[in-house]
A and B are shown apart, each in its own frame.
Chain A
Amino acid sequence: MQRHLISAADLTRDDAVLILDTAEEMARVADRPIKKLPTLRGRTVVNLFFEDSTRTRISFEAAEKRLSADVINFSAKGSSVSKGESLKDTAQTLEAMGVDAVVIRHGASGAPYRLATSGWIDAHVINAGDGTHQHPTQALLDAFTMRRRLVGRDAGLGQDLNGRRITLVGDVLHSRVARSNVDLLHTLGAEVTLVAPPTLLPVGVETWPCEVSYDLDSTLPKSDAVMMLRVQRERMNAAFFPTEREYSRRYGLDGDRMARMPGHAIVMHPGPMVRGMEITAEVADSDRCTVVEQVTNGVSIRMAVLYLLLGGAEFQTAGTPAAPARTAEEN
């Protein structure tokens, strides 16, 4: 593992499998009466959120607290940042207070990369979503969810997603979730297909390691998992598609479309869902939809990432195969 987690593209297959396996161990912690490990006791993690994202922030915070880290939440709104302080000064101020890791969410693509590589700070940097670039822990929790559902909780240990057919549908152009998922799923051996109207695909997508289709209906029967991406209604005003209704008709997932998917196939969504836009209530509330599991898994994945990056040595649980933890130390 590297010092930072900036992009899903930086992870090797073995890195990714190690994170998923470690997350399974972390998940067991959540099943205990006391959901807490002493691993990061005495370490300080700051959640540096320049963009509002209560869900992601809370997920990281839960993960940090379960690992016994001291947690500082920093929201840019109402802070010195809104008075014009630069990213560099903000980060250096926080580090001067003795922060070991920075979890950063930023509206500008590349901001976490700059933070990690410009010599501004020494702390570990974890990207919690940057602009329309990357959201690596989201891709990891998605892969974790897929592996559990499609391969199995125990059977999945040590396994990747080789040969699984994953379809991502929606606003790929503006989606860091899509970019991270394409990178990670490809690394894990899955076959990825992007489905979107041509206006919501970036120029240059043809070089990505995936297939591209404009037709959802023909893709659904060949999918083991279908991930619906959020489509913001405002995109309509920028002429990305004519109307909300037309978008849902062509690219929304409803009960009829879900019925075209193979029996074992699952429906995923990174949240927050826009019901009635990309997904109907019927699909969102069905057993095949993993939205709530994804949230749960997010905490395990973020625990695993923090654990592996910050390298806690004390991690031991009863009946835990020690292998992943040891590998982490060696790396």
Chain B
Amino acid sequence: MSKTLIRGAKVLGGEPQDVLIDGGTVAEVGSGLSAEGAEVVEAGGKVLLPGLVDLHTHLREPGREDSETVLTGTRAAASGGYTAVFAMANTFPVADTAGVVEQVWRLGKEHGYCDVQPIGAVTVGLEGKKLAELGAMHESAAGVTVFSDDGKCVHDAVIMRRALEYVKAFDGVVAQHAQEPRLTEGAQMNEGVVSAELGLGGWPAVAEESVIARDVLLADHVGSRVHICHLSTAGSVEIVRWAKSRGIRVTAEVTPHHLLLTDELVRSYNPVYKVNPPLRTERDVLALREALADGTIDIVATDHAPHPHEDKDCEWAAAAMGMVGLETALSVVQETMVDTGLLDWAGVAERMSFTPARIGRAEGHGRPVSAGEPANLTLVDTAYRGPVDPAGFASRSRNTPYEGRELPGRVTHTWLRGKATLVDGKLT
């Protein structure tokens, strides 16, 4: 395989260095490295990060190929600087058997833009009643370690307890979509001042917080680890902070949109802002940023949720919930965390690559940029600033809340095991 020399890149935001890729691995990191026999990429002060890892992606295949496929979704991922994504189980059919997870895993492998690590459903058909064959999914070629009914909450305390216990046998983790179903019947947006005015059904913070509180206590009781999906409220932060202080093995993710947007946007009744959990208040946004900075929230995960145009070009109540996020995640994180001084690039690498890979046990991902490591790398032009143009997305869907919004940062190159998947902002 060929050699690539990345010249003058700020590795994790540090001093400019050269990085030599040989085949699938990083051969050398240093200054003044020889370019002999290598293709040269002039980084010119761009930031080099380990390939990003998304613990929460909806690729929609099988079943909703009109909104995304493994191919279009992994191309979007490569565009956004990702080298591994965890594909959620709420497909049609649901990824609750070894057969479905293997299919998704193989599709990712065939396309070669980004490693696809399927997430298995916790319960059969996401119905919350009967455990899916978690062990079979783990033992399949897909090697599933993360299990989630995302989109639905594993609300039955006994089922949740059993799932937490059961996956310990193979070091798995349950990723909980924390949403008390009874408290969120008919919920359309965050419950508060804005929902009261708009007359939209409220999704109260307590519906998330009460489930998180229960689940950290369950995890403590049975000695399992638990992961909290898309944590969205200031109260949830407090609970996770408390749990961590007690030594409970809980990890948590926040989405880029919850770091930037608030429920005030819903006043437009534009369903592009409709998402689950819903956009919260300014107070929540600030608490989430602080928690991501201080480590209470471990990672950023996109909850990339593609939907066809017609599912958003309608009245609010009829619209689907979710936003695409793979191609804007790093920009939003730069805007909300780096440019605000809350996080440096090493901190971003930690939260968007190292830690998500560790939580999901994604081998070969989330590794340091140093000699001998797999060459999963992302080069970011952090000086760039420009409007988001959905027409340029690689994703099959365009349901972004950032259309026209100026955001900083642009991923120019992505390498998956030494193979460039994105060059000068263009997919290979």
Please list the residues of chain A having a beta carbon within 8 angstroms of any beta carbon in chain B: 86-88, 106-111, 113-114, 117-118, 130-134, 176, 179, 202-205, 207-208
Which residues of the partner chain B approach A203 to less than 8 Å between Cβ atoms? 191-192, 195-196, 202, 204
| Least distance between B307 CB and chain A CB atoms (Å) | 14
| Alpha-carbon distance between A272 and B196 when the two chains are bound, in angstroms | 24
| Least distance between A105 CB and chain B CB atoms (Å) | 13
| Least distance between B328 CB and chain A CB atoms (Å) | 23
Q: Indicate which residue in A86, A111, A204, A208 contacts B191 across the interface (CB closer than 8 Å).
A: A204
| Alpha-carbon distance between A203 and B200 when the two chains are bound, in angstroms | 12
| Least distance between A238 CB and chain B CB atoms (Å) | 9
B317 within 8 A of A: yes
- When each residue 292-316 of chain B gets 1 if its CB lies under 8 Å from chain A and 0 otherwise, what string results? 0000000000000000001001111
* B313 with A109: CB separation less than 8 A: no
Report B185-220 residues with CB < 8 Å from chain A CB: 188, 191-200, 202, 204
Which residues of the partner chain B approach A117 to less than 8 Å between Cβ atoms? 268-269
Name the residue on B nearest A132 (C-beta). B199
B318 within 8 A of A: yes
| Alpha-carbon distance between A136 and B190 when the two chains are bound, in angstroms | 24
Count of interface residues, chain B, beta-carbon cutoff 8 Å: 23
| Least distance between A8 CB and chain B CB atoms (Å) | 12
Q: Indicate which residue in B192, B317, B318 contacts A204 across the interface (CB closer than 8 Å).
A: B192
* A to B contact number (C-beta, < 8 Å): 76
* B199 with A179: CB separation less than 8 A: yes
Which residues of the partner chain B approach A87 to less than 8 Å between Cβ atoms? 314-315, 318
* B199 with A176: CB separation less than 8 A: yes
| Alpha-carbon distance between A118 and B268 when the two chains are bound, in angstroms | 10
Please list the residues of chain B having a beta carbon within 8 angstroms of any beta carbon in chain A: 188, 191-200, 202, 204, 268-270, 310, 313-318
Given A110-B269, A114-B269, A204 and B315 touching (CB < 8 A)?
A: no
Given A113-B269, A204-B191, A107 and B317 touching (CB < 8 A)?
A: yes
Q: Indicate which residue in A110, A134, A179 contacts B316 across the interface (CB closer than 8 Å).
A: A110
Which residues of the partner chain A approach B195 to less than 8 Å between Cβ atoms? 202-204
* B204 with A110: CB separation less than 8 A: no
Q: Indicate which residue in A110, A114, A118 contacts B198 across the interface (CB closer than 8 Å).
A: A110
| Alpha-carbon distance between A202 and B190 when the two chains are bound, in angstroms | 12
| Least distance between A118 CB and chain B CB atoms (Å) | 8
* B194 with A108: CB separation less than 8 A: no
* A109, A117, A179, A207 — most chain B CB neighbours (10 Å): A109
| Least distance between A111 CB and chain B CB atoms (Å) | 4
Q: Indicate which residue in A108, A134, A205, A207 contacts B315 across the interface (CB closer than 8 Å).
A: A108
| Alpha-carbon distance between A185 and B196 when the two chains are bound, in angstroms | 17
| Alpha-carbon distance between A108 and B319 when the two chains are bound, in angstroms | 11
* B196 with A114: CB separation less than 8 A: no
Which residues of the partner chain A approach B204 to less than 8 Å between Cβ atoms? 203
| Alpha-carbon distance between A86 and B271 when the two chains are bound, in angstroms | 14
Name the residue on B nearest A108 (C-beta). B317
| Alpha-carbon distance between A205 and B194 when the two chains are bound, in angstroms | 10
| Least distance between B121 CB and chain A CB atoms (Å) | 29
